[in-house]
Amino acid sequence: MSGAKVFLLVVSLAISTVSVAQKDNVGFRFEEYFDKNQLDVTYNGKVLTAYCFFDSIMKPVLFPINTLSGKTVTRGFPLAPRAGERVDHPHHIGMWLNYESVNGLDFWNNSTAIPYNKRAHYGSIVHNKIVSMKTEKAKAVLRVSAVWLNHSRQVLLNEITTYTFQVVKDNFIIDRSTKLSAVQDVVFKDVKDGLLGIRVARELEHISNKPETFVDDKGNYTAVPVVDNNGVTGMYLSSEGLKGNDVWGTRGRWTSLSGVINREPVSITIIDHPKNTGYPTYWHARGYGLFAANPLGQSVFSNEKESMNLTLKQNQSVAFTYRVVIRSGDAITPAQIEKLAKELK
């Protein structure tokens, strides 16, 4: 074969290889790291989030969560601390779904920070298996199963969760649909901490003047008597027109948290589903960075005017569906949120 032909063949193979690589990085993909108990969700070659089921975090979570432009909207602590973050509530990791009192067991507050002699009072959610995975250019669907266990490894609930990931214009959309089936009689006691939670980045917190403890990029803790609010820009807005800390303890069809990260407007919006128990949900939305929807803990939010102790008999089920919209670029508007809410299946 002549030198010219060899050169053309090499160039042709190189172009072909680049073409395949580019094709592989278009749209959604799942990248499996089962030795780490982690499944990355990538879009056009960039990680948008990861389904993580480490034993040390006591429940499966999505962590981190990024915008399409690469801004991380979730807190890093305690898994990957970033300088300037609060070090409270080590059980607040990424996005999760659990509850403070299930047959008296606390699933919400469980973490490795709990002393061993007290762990019998806490429950854990353990990943069982990945049921199915499907990816398309602008959509990916992950279906997983898990079990809710007491400290003796007895099963209270079986869980099937379907995550649907979509990209629509500037929106990274996560639809989480979870079915909980009772293996024994189960009571979700009416309490404050639940149900769907996200712990947000420092930039999306509300400005605070209280003394706090923060972490540096090496994991060292420092007590700070006067808080530096530089770069803190978060602001809640509910479907009922309430803003800031006024959103906490009120009902709403959706709530959006907006702010600026690295000079770029970003927002996280949680949309409740009309078929969910307790709709429209109460919002457990705190200025320090906890953004949660709790339809089951009604007494504390209503000053005891309402109550709900959701009870499932053995073999009964309950389902919860939420849409979470992660947006970067221009600010999301209430009209855009309403449209996204109507489209939620």
Q: What is the pLDDT of residue 11?
A: 36
Domains in the chain (CATH in brackets) are 3-342 (2.70.98)
- pLDDT band (50, 70, 90) for residue 228: confident
Averaging pLDDT over each range in 72-76, 83-87, 113-117, which range is the top one?
A: 72-76
pLDDT at 20 over 50: no
Q: What is the pLDDT of residue 302?
A: 96
Q: What is the pLDDT of residue 69?
A: 97
> Is the separation of the CB atoms in 160 and 179 below 8 Å?
yes
Give the 3-state secondary structure percentages of the chain, helix then strand then coil, rounded to 5. 15, 45, 40
pLDDT at 138 over 60: yes
Q: What is the pLDDT of residue 19?
A: 33
pLDDT tens-digit readout, 263-312: 999 999 999 999 999 999 999 999 999 999 999 999 999 999 999 999 99
Specify the higher pLDDT residue, 42 or 1: 42
pLDDT at 320 over 90: yes
pLDDT at 225 over 80: no
Mean residue pLDDT of the chain comes to 91
- pLDDT band (50, 70, 90) for residue 227: confident
Mean pLDDT, range 140-161, rounded to an integer: 98
pLDDT at 313 over 50: yes
Run of H or E residues at 334: helix 334-342
pLDDT at 130 over 80: yes
Mean pLDDT, range 320-337, rounded to an integer: 96
- Burial (CB < 10 A; 0-12, 13-18, 19+), residue 322, is buried
* Lowest model confidence (mean pLDDT) among 23-27, 63-67, 81-85: 23-27
For 68, how many CA atoms within 13 A lie in the half-sphere containing its CB? Answer: 20
pLDDT tens-digit readout, 168-222: 999 999 999 999 999 999 999 999 999 999 999 999 999 988 887 866 666 677 7
- Cis previous bond, 78, omega within 30: yes
Mean pLDDT, range 324-336, rounded to an integer: 95
pLDDT at 7 over 70: no
- How far is residue 16's CA from residue 74's CA, in Å, rounded to a whole number? 38
- pLDDT band (50, 70, 90) for residue 226: low
